[in-house]
């Protein structure tokens, strides 16, 4: 899992992540590459393996994004910095 802003240390056995982005951030994208090239879903929208999701508009703070792949669902909580 690779966010367009912030960073996370992805491990397949860890299901929950928190990333921090600049306060003025309006949207974020997520890119994921699956082992077998299987598509994944970002907030319910199918995305090809290795492709970038459409921009996810950040409307709340924090905002939770879900990434589903096979039988696992990962959550990424996006928090805006206060400064």
pLDDT for 43-73, tens place per residue?
999 999 999 999 999 998 899 999 999 889 9
pLDDT for 18-37, tens place per residue?
999 999 999 999 999 888 88
Instruction: Please provide residue 63's backbone torsions phi and psi, each rounded to the nearest 5 degrees.
Output: -125, 135
Supply the pLDDT for residue 64: 96
Q: What is the pTM of this model?
A: 0.90
Supply the pLDDT for residue 51: 95
Instruction: Please provide residue 25's backbone torsions phi and psi, each rounded to the nearest 5 degrees.
Output: -65, 125
- For residue 20, the Cα-to-chain-centroid distance in whole angstroms is 12
Cα separation, 33 vs 9, in Å, equals: 14
Supply the pLDDT for residue 83: 62
Instruction: Please provide residue 10's backbone torsions phi and psi, each rounded to the nearest 5 degrees.
Output: -70, 135
Cα separation, 81 vs 79, in Å, equals: 6
């Amino acid at each position: 899992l690779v966010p367009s802003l912030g960073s996370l240390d992805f491990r397949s056995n860890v299901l929950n992540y928190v990333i921090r982005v600049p306060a003025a951030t309006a949207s974020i994208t997520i890119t994921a590459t699956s082992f077998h090239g299987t598509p994944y879903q970002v907030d319910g929208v199918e995305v090809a393996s290795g492709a970038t999701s459409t921009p996810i508009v950040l409307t709340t703070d924090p905002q939770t994004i879900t990434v589903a792949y096979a039988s696992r669902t990962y959550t990424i909580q996006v928090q805006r910095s206060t400064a």
